[in-house]
Amino acid sequence: MAGGGFSDDKGGKRAHLYEYKITGYFIFACVVAAMGGSLFGYDLGVSGGVTSMDDFLKEFFPKVYRRKHAHLKETDYCKYDNQILTLFTSSLYFAALVSTFGASHVTRNKGRRASILCGAVSFFLGAILNAFAKNIAMLILGRCLLGVGIGFGNQAVPLYLSEMAPAKVRGAVNQMFQLTTCLGILIANFINYATDKIHPWGWRLSLGLATVPATVMFIGGLFLPETPNSLVEQGKLQEARQVLEKIRGTTKVDAEFADLKDASDAARAIKDPFRNLLKRKNRPQLVIAALGIPAFQQLTGMNSILFYAPVIFQSLGFGSGASLYSSAITSGALVLATFISMAFVDKFGRRAFFLEAGVEMICVLVAVAVTLALKFGEGEELPKGIGIFLVVIICIFVVAYGRSWGPLGWLVPSELFPLETRSAGQSMVVCVNMIFTALIAQCFLVSLCHLKYGIFLLFAGLIFIMSCFIFFLLPETKQVPIEEIYLLWQNHWFWKRYCTPEENEHGLDAKSLPPI
């Protein structure tokens, strides 16, 4: 079987000796760090809403505005097909994928906290530039600065949360990143709903308010502790032990601290972590964590819905206000789904959430495609009942994604990399994620125009492929200490041919682990 795993009391050399309490200091650190997700989420929510606002379109994209209002009673797949308009959205993600490699250097050598602070500053500057933009060039430059902020934040925050968390609750803690992302989307949608009524500068307010989460993240980041893993990696052993004792609420951290030092010794021997990631023994992390999961997360089609929910709903015949309100409903469903995932992911495991939600998402996308094929695209507005049905099943899709590929797309990669390749690996995760995010953002509207309802069938087929990928290649990682995840590969039916105990540089083996 492709799955399986082990619990804290069975795996590895010292895991059964780990002790911890959930302390106030630990909660503070994780809540503040997780604010990095709100930057990503706010931008996801606000950009799609702004691109559907008439005042924004009149100022920067008058051709799209005229096309939108040419036939007020006619719904059309192609109303928003404009590559410069989509470049407004996707330019951020192209900037993010480039900046994440600089973020990797900062994260590895200066710490996770330093990357979080850099991301907050860049995001703040981008928000200011967008709010006062006078032309498309200013818009795109502002989006690039926002992208640099997201590149740094998305590189550091998932690592920070996974390294701070005890193994038994690591899934729930890491998903605080997804929770703040979803809350950012929800808040952005309600802000768009309000600012759409402020003429002619409401869109500027929507974009400018991105400075708020950036400011909160920067001020909070000044008080964040560095993770023990990063401090050990930097050679600050005494400080690392002090932080570890403080976040675990106990002085009995000898076992965990010894594992951190062992991992750090291996990490310091690596001169080029990116090249090390290509080694045979790191093939599972490269294929699953660095390439597969971040690419597939975007190929679910979910971010297309998040980017363009107001645009999609307007194209389907909803009015401007109704479309923003409908997208707020879908983002609310995403928040609900994240709470469900946080509550149960450490109980039922990562694989169960991936696979069950995959089946659900395929069914929903097929239903959307069939409905649109039968009822939409003939120049007539959708009946109200059909419109409500589409909103409901899109919410079902959002809930399925929000408890699976959404949070787990960040959680699982952050768990899989050993310390010596962790910052480089996370940079690859962000880079691949942003490449596919940018491509989907740039191509979705033109694909909607040309493929029509077929675009949803395409996404359904991709979800089937990615579900097979998870079923056969991903072992279960719930409750496995982060520095002992690598032991899972040695008993995996496929990956054991790449990761034999003889190649293990940590001096541990997986003989005591149950078959995977």
| Helices and strands per DSSP (H, E), number in the chain | 24, 0
The reported pLDDT for the residue numbered 308 is 54
- Compute the distance between CA of residue 45 and CA of residue 37 in angstroms, rounded to an integer: 12
Rg (CA), the chain: 23
- For tokens 């995010």, the residue is 437
The reported pLDDT for the residue numbered 412 is 93
**Fold match between domain 15-224 and domain 276-499:** yes
- Compute the distance between CA of residue 108 and CA of residue 165 in angstroms, rounded to an integer: 19
What's phi and psi for 434, nearest 5 deg? Answer: -75, -35
SS3 217: helix
- For tokens 């974009």, the residue is 207
- Compute the distance between CA of residue 490 and CA of residue 499 in angstroms, rounded to an integer: 5
Yes or no: is domain 15-224 CATH 3.20.20.140? no
Superfamily of domain 276-499: MFS general substrate transporter like domains (1.20.1250.20)
- Compute the distance between CA of residue 455 and CA of residue 117 in angstroms, rounded to an integer: 39
Contact between residue 36 and residue 181 where contact means Cβ atoms under 8 Å apart: no
- Residue 196 carries which side chain, given as an amino acid letter? D
pTM for the structure as a whole? 0.76
- Compute the distance between CA of residue 60 and CA of residue 138 in angstroms, rounded to an integer: 11
Q: What is the dihedral of CA 376, 47, 220, 421, to 10 degrees?
A: 80
Contact between residue 418 and residue 263 where contact means Cβ atoms under 8 Å apart: yes
By C-alpha distance, which of 284, 266, 236, 260 is closest to 420?
A: 266
Q: Please list the helix, strand and coil fractions of the chain in percent, rounded to the nearest 5, in that order.
A: 75, 0, 25
Contact between residue 188 and residue 42 where contact means Cβ atoms under 8 Å apart: yes
Residue 2: CB atoms within 10 Å? 18
Residue 470: CB atoms within 10 Å? 24
The tokens for 303 are 């971010």
Residue 373: CB atoms within 10 Å? 14
Contact between residue 337 and residue 119 where contact means Cβ atoms under 8 Å apart: no
SS3 135: coil
Query: Is the bond into 200 cis (omega within 30 degrees of 0)?
Result: yes
Residue 281: CB atoms within 10 Å? 18
Q: What is the DSSP string of 254-293?
A: HHHHHHHHHHHHHHHT-S-HHHHTTSGGGHHIIIIIIIIH
Contact between residue 21 and residue 249 where contact means Cβ atoms under 8 Å apart: yes
The reported pLDDT for the residue numbered 146 is 94
pLDDT tens across the length of the chain (516 residues):
333 333 333 334 566 678 888 899 999 999 999 988 899 889 877 887 788 788 998 888 888 788 767 754 444 556 666 667 777 777 888 888 889 888 888 988 899 999 999 999 999 999 999 999 999 899 999 999 999 999 999 889 988 998 898 888 888 898 899 899 889 988 988 898 889 889 899 999 999 999 999 999 999 999 999 999 899 988 899 999 999 999 999 998 888 898 888 888 877 777 777 888 888 888 999 999 999 999 999 899 886 666 556 556 665 556 656 666 666 777 788 889 999 999 999 989 999 999 999 999 999 999 988 887 886 655 556 677 777 787 788 889 989 999 999 889 988 998 898 877 888 888 898 889 888 887 877 777 677 777 777 888 999 999 999 999 999 999 999 888 887 888 889 888 999 888 765 444 444 444 444 444
Instruction: Give residue limits of the domains in the chain.
Output: 15-224, 276-499
